[in-house]
């Protein structure tokens, strides 16, 4: 139910599991549960990196990604270009009609995002990441394996710096700094979080088809039946930052269960659970509805289906799961199934202030 804002009652006001008629209160949400626990109490798990699937199926040598199929289609068929643009416009909300250009060159990566003097030099791995084909870490692998050349010479040195005027190639393909695009989607059910589905099911790219020429990728993932916020971008560096659990990026979910959660199970969940792939503990937990059938939780784990598996471990089935907050971004003015471009202020905060 898009736009639902439900608050959670202090646990002393009712007993979870009590047989009461279900009540839904509008105008409140579990977006700010009160964050008092130290980071040291949070669980750690394996990072989930931002890795576009290479065409050769192997990750040792990431394959060069072409521009989106959309660009190739519209170059041949103006009618298709017009139709796809109209469909994208119908789903888009917010003040930006096209992907804005962000001036991020003068920001320092320190709290407060202080300005620094601009330099035309940058590290080679950053240049490759900015070309939109991989993350910085993957760019280091490309450099080390001798697949990158600068001005005709193969470079394998880590930390090598290039000028904007240098010619950088991946194999025989010249790279250029791609325009960075950031799209926020309020994902509906029945859309797959992938860029290509062999079974030809609906993907999140179908929601934004025609939004931009750049090839953008989902940051993390949401299950097919999970709704809520999903960020898509070609900024591999930011995507890696937002999906690495050591950064403690805030994600808040509302889970509607098949039965009221009991006081005992609530306390077990609050203390943390030992699942088949390790220990996991919510960073914050709260009851959203008086009938104790909707639970809000903040978690930074990137493990697959982690929220659903936590409740399944306690004997509950999650009937609806909605991500209401991701990295400080919320669903305000973003109805279900719609998308918008991020503002420069939002991008600066994500890249330099989190």
- List the catalytic residues: 223
Residues facing 280 on adjacent strands = 273
Tokens of 336: 């279900």
Is the distance from CB of 338 to CB of 92 less than 8 angstroms?
yes
Is the distance from CB of 18 to CB of 263 less than 8 angstroms?
no
Residues facing 233 on adjacent strands = 182, 217
228 backbone dihedrals φ, ψ, rounded to 5°: 115, -160
Tokens of 258: 């098949």
* Signed CA dihedral, 340, 179, 175, 139: sign only: negative
Quick one: which H or E segment has residue 78? helix 78-91
Q: How far apart are CA 29 and CA 324, in angstroms?
A: 9
Which residues make Cβ contacts (< 8 Å) with residue 146, sequence separation at least 6? 154, 156
């Amino acid at each position: 139910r898009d736009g639902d804002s439900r608050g959670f009652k202090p646990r002393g006001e009712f007993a979870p599991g009590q047989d009461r008629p279900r009540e839904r209160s509008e105008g409140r949400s579990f977006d700010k549960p009160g964050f008092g626990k130290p980071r040291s109490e949070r669980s750690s798990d394996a990072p989930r990196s931002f890795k576009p699937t290479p065409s050769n199926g192997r990750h040792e040598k990431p394959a060069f990604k072409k521009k989106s199929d959309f660009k190739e289609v519209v170059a041949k068929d103006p009618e298709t270009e017009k139709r796809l643009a109209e469909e994208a416009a119908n789903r888009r909300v917010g003040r930006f009609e096209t992907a804005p250009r962000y001036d991020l060159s003068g920001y320092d990566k320190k709290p407060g995002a202080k300005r620094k003097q601009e330099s035309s030099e940058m590290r080679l791995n950053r240049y490759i990441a900015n070309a939109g084909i991989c993350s910085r870490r993957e760019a280091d692998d490309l450099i080390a394996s001798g697949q990158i050349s600068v001005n005709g010479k193969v470079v394998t040195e880590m930390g090598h710096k290039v000028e904007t005027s240098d010619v950088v190639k991946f194999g025989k393909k010249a790279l250029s700094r791609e325009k960075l695009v950031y799209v926020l989607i309020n994902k509906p059910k029945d859309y797959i979080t992938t860029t290509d589905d062999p079974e030809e099911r609906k993907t999140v790219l179908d929601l934004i088809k025609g939004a931009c020429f750049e090839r953008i990728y989902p940051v993390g993932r949401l299950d097919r039946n999970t709704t809520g916020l999903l960020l898509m971008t070609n900024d591999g560096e930011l995507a890696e930052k937002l999906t690495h659990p050591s950064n403690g990026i805030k994600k808040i979910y509302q889970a509607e269960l098949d039965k009221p959660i009991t006081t005992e199970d609530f306390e077990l969940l609050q203390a943390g659970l030992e699942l088949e792939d390790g220990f996991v503990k919510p960073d914050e937990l709260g009851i959203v509805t008086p009938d104790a059938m909707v639970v809000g939780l903040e978690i930074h784990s990137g493990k697959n289906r982690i929220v659903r598996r936590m409740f399944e471990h306690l004997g509950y089935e999650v009937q609806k799961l909605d991500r209401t907050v991701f990295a400080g971004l919320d669903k305000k003015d973003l109805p279900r199934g719609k998308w918008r471009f991020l503002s420069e202020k939002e991008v600066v905060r994500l890249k330099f202030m989190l």
